[in-house]
Amino acid sequence: MKFFKLTLLAIVALFTSCEEVIWDKGLETTNPKDNLDYLWKECNEKYSYFELKNIDWDAIKVKYSAKIFDGMTEDSLFSVLGKMLTELKDDHTNLVSNFNISRFGTHHLGQDNFDWRIIADNYLPKDFYISGPFAHSFIANKEIGYIRFPSFTGEIDKKNIDFILEKYKNTKGLIIDLRENGGGQVTDIFKLLSRFVENETLLYYSRIKNGPGHDDFSEAAPAYVEPYEGIRYKNKVAVLIDRGTYSAGSFTALATKALPNMVLIGDTTGGGLGLPNGGQLPNGWTYRFSITQALTLNKSPEYENGVPPDIHVLFDWNNLKTDEIIERAIIELQ
């Protein structure tokens, strides 16, 4: 069974080996300026979202070059280079040394909208099921199935998802909770969504940076999902999202825009629709940043800044016995 087209498979395969760094030992140096120049140039030619984010990368080079001086400590240099990378406002962008990792933190762009303890204490029985990566049970007088999916671990398989869909086959609807799901295995997206479509469906497009110019990209490659040849669910599905929904979580949220039986509820996702790749600096530190774009059905990269919900709902932290996002999903599904 195919889950998506070979064009997308080729893109995914590129990133399965992204940790393998090919390095010319002749470039080795600890000189601070050389390392900044190298990192800036790599980003300048390969990062995929300068245009969308309206980033003046030349001005940023001037800004951070002024902070470089001979004899600066490794910690000081790391701080300068790490902060330069965070100007990309992208959690697929990191500088990694043996003493620190730089990061942006898109989840801080909105309020916290998830608390597992509130759900476990007020919505689920103590003996709720754990099937592979999913925690789940009936809620709302057994009219709705609630499925918590915290990470795309690559553990979705025929047995666990068959069990879940058979268990909730007579419900009015399902809730798939992707809040604070930071992503993981891209192939899990298609294994999951193949259970909710009846026909081959175009979900989005992807393209990869293929030249030094900020707008140099390959042709957009379509990403399709095909219906699973077995148990599928045909009623309505509410997908819960927030700023902590990132990477593969955002890809899933983007894909739901093409699926009429799915509705997004909660807050805008954190983005992360560019797949990352990277390399090694002359001083041995490693880095990564986004070098692809996921595009909407009208071939726009706009959702890199976050996939918006269809129904916007936020948590009320004055009431720690109610999850407002789940409550709104129940109303939508009943």
DSSP 204-232: EEEEEB-SSSTT-BPPPEEEEE---SS--
Distance of CA 113 to the CA centre of its chain: 17
Q: What pLDDT is stored for residue 67 in this prediction?
A: 98
Adjacency order of strands within the sheet including 94-96 = 94-96, 286-290, 276-280
3-state helix, strand and coil shares in percent for the chain, rounded to the nearest 5? 30, 20, 50
| Stretch (H or E) spanning 289 | strand 286-290
User: What are the chain's domains?
Assistant: 16-104 (3.30.750.44), 109-274+292-333 (3.90.226.10)
What's residue 27's pLDDT?
Answer: 80
Find all residues with CB under 8 Å of 113, minimum gap 6, and list them: 179, 242, 243, 244, 266, 267, 314, 315, 325
Determine the pLDDT at residue 23: 53
Phi, then psi, of 202 in degrees rounded to 5? -75, 125
Task: Return the pLDDT at 24.
Answer: 61
Task: Report yes or no: 180 and 245 within 8 Å, Cβ to Cβ.
Answer: yes
How much is the pLDDT for 25?
64
Residues of the chain with pLDDT under 50: 1-22
Neighbours of 212 (CB within 10 A): 10
Owner of token pair 């709902």: 313
